[in-house]
Amino acid sequence: MAEGGHMLANVGLIVLLLSAGLWCFALLTTGARAQSSSSDAYLAGVLSRFAPLGFACAVAVSACGLAASTITVAHPADLVATAGGIPPLGGLLLLCLLVVVGRMHRQILLRQAAAAQDGAALQNRALRRRFLAEEAIILVATVAVSLTLTLPAVSAGGHDHAASVASTPEMALLGYALPEPPGLGALLTLHADAFGILFAAVSAPLYLSGVRALHRRGDRWPLARTVAFLAGVVSVLLVTCTGFGRYAPALFSLHMVQHMVLNMVSPLLLVAGAPVTLALRALPVRERRVLLAATHSRAAAIVSHPVAVTAIFVVSLYLVYFTPLFELAMRNHWGHFLMQLHFLASGFLFFWFVMGVDPDRNRPGPLHRVPILLTAILSHTVFAVVLVFGVTPIGAEFYRDLALPWAPDLLSDQALAGGISWVLGELVTVGVLVALIMRWFAGAERADRALTRRRARQRV
């Protein structure tokens, strides 16, 4: 339970913060729309859309507190059998009460909106302010109670983890034991990883819901794109929620396998799924305009500029591994989570710019993207050479503090990591280079055929 409880607490905190942020954003948006319109019918529609979202966010936030309360005690039965279970049990009851009260509050407002006659109900500004105030109180109270239950579980890592945290160095640094080296069986076992679980739980359902929305409307979406995107999600799970994810913090070579998949293989597959295009086709008109405004904003233009894309993908590689950032991230669960997120996000941005089919006003022609790709190939080659022939182990203090009796020599493992980085990196980037050149040839052929047809029409 040590590893599972500790990871569950971290996943719960992330889900809690995301749900609370979505709830707050939805409330602010709903409030802005409610204050900007005097139409009861419009207000009723806005509130009817907010009600299920607010209830879902309240349930998600409360569920995080529920999960955390079960890992701060040795056994769930201790919630009612011991004095230590009284505070979390009281928090759980309060969360249930808040969820019920919040649902009743929204249903009452919806009935009042439906019964409004000639603007007599919701045109009253006092009633609108009451909605915002009461919903805000419910939001703050629910989040506060859930955080009160969740934060102790995160800091302690669960009852069993707290009891055994000093037993071995790997327990203290990783939250779980690694008594033997990774064999094939160990690498194929399941592992609870916060990043992999959250990414799969959010990305796959959203993508499939977009595909379903198109199909219900009678539009078609290429099956190959769906398969590519889901393959990208599966690749993330394979290197995070299996033995690869379990042993990656302990061996630099396996960490490099995870890095290369998250930074190059998974993003390429996700980009091939064209998620932005799918969202633009599946979202309602209002949300589609918001997404278009975001993709055409000045911030998006800066981030997707060729220089920025290359710098984020290339320079950050050296900053992570050749500064204290790597060891800092490895010693902290949140730091490791952010490092995984950075690998995936920077890789997605790079391949979205180089090979993406989603619309981008800053993306040059295929031939002009080749120098950017060659820069990435050269930088990864240099990085791999430094790892292979380096004389100073990366993250040496962290790996020495782990003190794993079966761990290989640090420089030998780092040289293996360099070889992995070079092979995987070259395979992906050279494959992308070939595909980019073929895309350029295909575009040139289409332009030639179009020119030939135009000249033929002019002769006629």
What average pLDDT score do residues 122-140 get? 74
φ, ψ of residue 153 to 5 degrees: the values are -70, -35
| pLDDT confidence bin for 87, thresholds 50/70/90 | low
- Residue at token pair 């919701």: 122
- Residue at token pair 């009160």: 148
pLDDT at 163: 43
351 has pLDDT over 80: yes
Instruction: Give Cα 350 distance to the centre of its chain.
Output: 17
d(CA 36, CA 31): 9
d(CA 260, CA 282): 32
- Residue at token pair 């800092």: 328
d(CA 459, CA 454): 9
d(CA 365, CA 381): 25
Burial annotation 445-456 (CB, 10 A radius, 16+ → b, else e)? eeeeeeeeeeee
- Distance between the two ends of the chain, CA-based, in angstroms? 80
Domain parsing of the chain, residue ranges: 2-165, 179-459
What single-letter DSSP state applies at residue 407?
P
What average pLDDT score do residues 53-59 get? 87
Instruction: Give Cα 310 distance to the centre of its chain.
Output: 21
| pLDDT confidence bin for 365, thresholds 50/70/90 | confident
- Of 236 and 2, more confident: 236
Please tell me the pTM assigned to this model: 0.76
What average pLDDT score do residues 335-347 get? 92
What average pLDDT score do residues 383-404 get? 91
> Using alpha carbons only, how large is the chain's radius of gyration in Å?
26
Pair 4, 163: CB distance under 8 Å: no
Instruction: Please give the mean pLDDT across all residues of the chain.
Output: 81
d(CA 394, CA 410): 8
pLDDT at 167: 64
d(CA 54, CA 60): 10
- Of 106 and 76, more confident: 106
d(CA 376, CA 382): 10
Tally of CB atoms within 10 A around 267: 28
The residue among 228, 269, 62, 271 whose CA lies nearest residue 148 is 62
Pair 197, 29: CB distance under 8 Å: no
441 has pLDDT over 80: no
- The amino acid occupying position 415 is A
| pLDDT confidence bin for 169, thresholds 50/70/90 | confident
- The amino acid occupying position 124 is N
Pair 432, 354: CB distance under 8 Å: yes
What single-letter DSSP state applies at residue 313?
I
Residue 36: both structure tokens together = 């900007």
